[in-house]
Protein backbone atom coordinates (compact mmCIF):
# COMPACT_ATOMS: atom_id res chain seq x y z
CA UNK A 1 0.00 0.00 0.00
CA UNK A 2 1.31 3.43 -0.96
CA UNK A 3 1.75 6.08 1.68
CA UNK A 4 -0.12 9.18 0.40
CA UNK A 5 2.38 11.64 1.83
CA UNK A 6 5.24 9.95 -0.04
CA UNK A 7 3.36 9.86 -3.33
CA UNK A 8 2.40 13.54 -3.23
CA UNK A 9 4.80 16.03 -4.85
CA UNK A 10 5.50 17.83 -1.58
CA UNK A 11 5.94 14.53 0.23
CA UNK A 12 8.60 13.48 -2.27
CA UNK A 13 10.33 16.84 -1.97
CA UNK A 14 10.56 16.34 1.80
CA UNK A 15 11.69 12.73 1.39
CA UNK A 16 14.52 13.58 -1.03
CA UNK A 17 15.66 16.49 1.14
CA UNK A 18 15.83 14.22 4.19
CA UNK A 19 17.66 11.50 2.27
CA UNK A 20 20.36 13.94 1.20
CA UNK A 21 20.58 15.39 4.71
CA UNK A 22 21.03 11.98 6.36
CA UNK A 23 23.50 10.58 3.81
CA UNK A 24 25.53 13.77 3.99
CA UNK A 25 25.55 13.58 7.79
CA UNK A 26 26.58 9.92 7.87
CA UNK A 27 29.43 10.63 5.48
CA UNK A 28 30.88 13.06 8.02
CA UNK A 29 31.22 10.51 10.82
CA UNK A 30 34.91 9.88 11.50
CA UNK A 31 36.32 7.09 13.67
CA UNK A 32 39.41 7.30 15.89
CA UNK A 33 41.19 4.88 13.55
CA UNK A 34 40.58 7.22 10.62
CA UNK A 35 41.89 10.20 12.55
CA UNK A 36 45.01 8.33 13.66
CA UNK A 37 45.86 7.12 10.16
CA UNK A 38 45.18 3.46 10.96
CA UNK A 39 42.25 3.19 8.50
CA UNK A 40 43.26 5.30 5.53
CA UNK A 41 41.34 3.17 3.03
CA UNK A 42 38.14 3.65 5.02
CA UNK A 43 38.95 7.35 5.36
CA UNK A 44 39.38 7.66 1.59
CA UNK A 45 36.02 5.94 1.05
CA UNK A 46 34.33 8.25 3.55
CA UNK A 47 35.94 11.31 1.96
CA UNK A 48 34.73 10.10 -1.45
CA UNK A 49 31.11 9.66 -0.36
CA UNK A 50 31.16 12.96 1.51
CA UNK A 51 32.57 14.87 -1.45
CA UNK A 52 30.02 13.38 -3.84
CA UNK A 53 26.93 13.97 -1.70
CA UNK A 54 28.12 17.46 -0.76
CA UNK A 55 28.93 18.46 -4.33
CA UNK A 56 27.31 21.66 -5.51
CA UNK A 57 25.71 19.83 -8.43
CA UNK A 58 24.02 17.38 -6.05
CA UNK A 59 22.54 20.07 -3.82
CA UNK A 60 21.53 22.14 -6.83
CA UNK A 61 20.05 18.97 -8.29
CA UNK A 62 17.89 18.60 -5.18
CA UNK A 63 16.38 22.04 -5.73
CA UNK A 64 15.89 21.40 -9.45
CA UNK A 65 14.23 18.07 -8.66
CA UNK A 66 11.93 19.82 -6.20
CA UNK A 67 10.81 22.22 -8.91
CA UNK A 68 10.36 19.35 -11.36
CA UNK A 69 8.13 17.52 -8.89
CA UNK A 70 5.92 20.57 -8.28
CA UNK A 71 5.54 21.26 -12.02
CA UNK A 72 3.95 24.73 -11.92
CA UNK A 73 6.24 27.80 -11.67
CA UNK A 74 5.07 29.34 -8.38
CA UNK A 75 5.06 26.12 -6.31
CA UNK A 76 8.30 25.04 -8.02
CA UNK A 77 10.04 28.26 -6.98
CA UNK A 78 8.91 27.76 -3.37
CA UNK A 79 9.93 24.10 -3.45
CA UNK A 80 13.42 25.01 -4.59
CA UNK A 81 13.96 27.13 -1.50
CA UNK A 82 12.17 24.79 0.91
CA UNK A 83 14.05 21.68 -0.22
CA UNK A 84 17.45 23.30 0.24
CA UNK A 85 16.63 24.82 3.62
CA UNK A 86 14.98 21.63 4.87
CA UNK A 87 17.98 19.52 3.92
CA UNK A 88 20.29 21.90 5.78
CA UNK A 89 18.11 22.08 8.90
CA UNK A 90 17.77 18.29 9.00
CA UNK A 91 21.50 17.81 8.41
CA UNK A 92 22.69 20.12 11.16
CA UNK A 93 19.77 19.40 13.48
CA UNK A 94 20.30 15.65 13.43
CA UNK A 95 24.03 16.20 13.72
CA UNK A 96 23.60 18.23 16.88
CA UNK A 97 21.06 15.80 18.38
CA UNK A 98 23.40 12.85 17.82
CA UNK A 99 26.44 14.68 19.15
CA UNK A 100 28.26 14.76 15.81
CA UNK A 101 28.12 18.57 15.74
CA UNK A 102 28.43 21.13 18.52
CA UNK A 103 25.84 23.80 19.17
CA UNK A 104 27.92 26.43 17.36
CA UNK A 105 27.49 24.57 14.06
CA UNK A 106 24.57 26.83 13.11
CA UNK A 107 26.43 30.11 13.41
CA UNK A 108 29.57 28.81 11.71
CA UNK A 109 27.56 27.55 8.71
CA UNK A 110 25.07 30.37 8.40
CA UNK A 111 26.26 31.18 4.88
CA UNK A 112 24.98 27.81 3.63
CA UNK A 113 21.45 28.79 4.63
CA UNK A 114 21.73 31.89 2.46
CA UNK A 115 22.46 29.81 -0.66
CA UNK A 116 18.95 28.29 -1.05
CA UNK A 117 17.44 31.74 -0.57
CA UNK A 118 19.53 33.04 -3.47
CA UNK A 119 19.46 30.05 -5.80
CA UNK A 120 16.40 28.05 -4.73
CA UNK A 121 13.92 30.08 -6.76
CA UNK A 122 15.79 29.98 -10.10
CA UNK A 123 16.73 26.33 -9.64
CA UNK A 124 13.14 25.43 -8.79
CA UNK A 125 11.95 27.25 -11.90
CA UNK A 126 14.55 25.40 -13.96
CA UNK A 127 13.14 22.16 -12.62
CA UNK A 128 9.63 23.12 -13.67
CA UNK A 129 10.88 24.25 -17.08
CA UNK A 130 12.64 20.90 -17.58
CA UNK A 131 9.20 19.33 -18.05
CA UNK A 132 8.69 21.32 -21.23
CA UNK A 133 9.06 19.43 -24.51
CA UNK A 134 10.58 22.30 -26.48
CA UNK A 135 14.16 23.50 -26.73
CA UNK A 136 13.80 25.48 -23.51
CA UNK A 137 12.88 22.29 -21.72
CA UNK A 138 15.96 20.56 -23.08
CA UNK A 139 18.22 23.42 -21.98
CA UNK A 140 16.66 23.41 -18.50
CA UNK A 141 17.08 19.66 -18.23
CA UNK A 142 20.77 19.89 -19.07
CA UNK A 143 21.61 22.44 -16.36
CA UNK A 144 22.39 19.90 -13.63
CA UNK A 145 24.26 17.44 -15.90
CA UNK A 146 26.39 20.28 -17.27
CA UNK A 147 27.06 21.53 -13.76
CA UNK A 148 28.16 18.06 -12.67
CA UNK A 149 30.56 17.76 -15.61
CA UNK A 150 32.07 21.21 -15.05
CA UNK A 151 32.28 21.18 -11.25
CA UNK A 152 35.43 19.01 -10.89
CA UNK A 153 37.33 21.30 -13.27
CA UNK A 154 36.07 24.51 -11.65
CA UNK A 155 36.82 23.31 -8.11
CA UNK A 156 40.18 21.77 -9.06
CA UNK A 157 39.49 18.21 -7.95
CA UNK A 158 42.09 16.85 -10.36
CA UNK A 159 44.95 19.02 -9.19
CA UNK A 160 46.81 19.57 -5.92
CA UNK A 161 47.17 23.20 -4.80
CA UNK A 162 50.70 24.50 -5.31
CA UNK A 163 52.89 23.98 -2.26
CA UNK A 164 50.35 21.77 -0.50
CA UNK A 165 50.97 18.03 -0.15
CA UNK A 166 47.56 16.49 0.50
CA UNK A 167 47.37 13.07 2.21
CA UNK A 168 46.52 10.33 -0.30
CA UNK A 169 42.98 9.68 1.05
CA UNK A 170 42.08 13.31 0.43
CA UNK A 171 43.82 13.48 -2.95
CA UNK A 172 42.49 10.23 -4.40
CA UNK A 173 38.98 10.74 -3.05
CA UNK A 174 38.86 14.11 -4.83
CA UNK A 175 39.90 12.48 -8.10
CA UNK A 176 37.33 9.70 -7.66
CA UNK A 177 34.64 12.26 -6.84
CA UNK A 178 35.53 14.28 -9.94
CA UNK A 179 35.32 11.22 -12.15
CA UNK A 180 31.99 10.25 -10.60
CA UNK A 181 30.51 13.70 -11.20
CA UNK A 182 31.67 13.76 -14.82
CA UNK A 183 30.42 10.25 -15.60
CA UNK A 184 27.17 10.85 -13.73
CA UNK A 185 26.65 14.16 -15.52
CA UNK A 186 27.24 12.58 -18.92
CA UNK A 187 24.85 9.71 -18.20
CA UNK A 188 22.16 12.04 -16.89
CA UNK A 189 22.67 14.41 -19.82
CA UNK A 190 22.31 11.53 -22.28
CA UNK A 191 19.07 10.47 -20.56
CA UNK A 192 17.71 14.03 -20.72
CA UNK A 193 18.50 14.29 -24.44
CA UNK A 194 17.05 10.83 -25.15
CA UNK A 195 13.85 11.70 -23.28
CA UNK A 196 13.56 15.01 -25.14
CA UNK A 197 14.05 13.30 -28.50
CA UNK A 198 11.38 10.71 -27.70
CA UNK A 199 8.93 13.46 -26.83
CA UNK A 200 9.88 15.48 -29.91
CA UNK A 201 9.34 12.43 -32.14
CA UNK A 202 6.02 11.68 -30.46
CA UNK A 203 4.80 15.26 -30.77
CA UNK A 204 5.94 15.44 -34.38
CA UNK A 205 4.45 12.09 -35.31
Res 164: pLDDT: 59
Per-residue model confidence (pLDDT) at position 202? 74
Average pLDDT by consecutive 10-residue portion of the chain (205 residues)? 71 96 91 65 90 96 97 96 97 92 90 95 97 94 97 90 69 94 97 90 65
Domain borders along the chain are 4-204
- What is d(CA 48, CA 128) in angstroms, rounded to the nearest whole number? 31
Q: What's the confidence (pLDDT) of residue 6?
A: 67
CB 42 within 8 A of CB 34: yes
Measured CA angle at 18 (ends 116, 90), to 5 deg? 70
- CA 153, 159, 162 angle in degrees (round to 5)? 125
pTM, to two decimals: 0.91
pLDDT at 7: 78
Reference 112, options 146, 77, 84, 142; nearest CA is 84
Contact 134, 177 (CB under 8 A): no
pLDDT of residue 83: 97
Amino acid sequence: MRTPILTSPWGRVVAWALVLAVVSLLSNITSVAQLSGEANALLAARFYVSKVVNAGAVWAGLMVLAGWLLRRPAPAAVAGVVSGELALVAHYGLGQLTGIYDSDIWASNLYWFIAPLLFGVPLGLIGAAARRRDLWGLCAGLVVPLGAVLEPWVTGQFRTPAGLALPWPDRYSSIACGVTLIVGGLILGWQVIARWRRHATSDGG
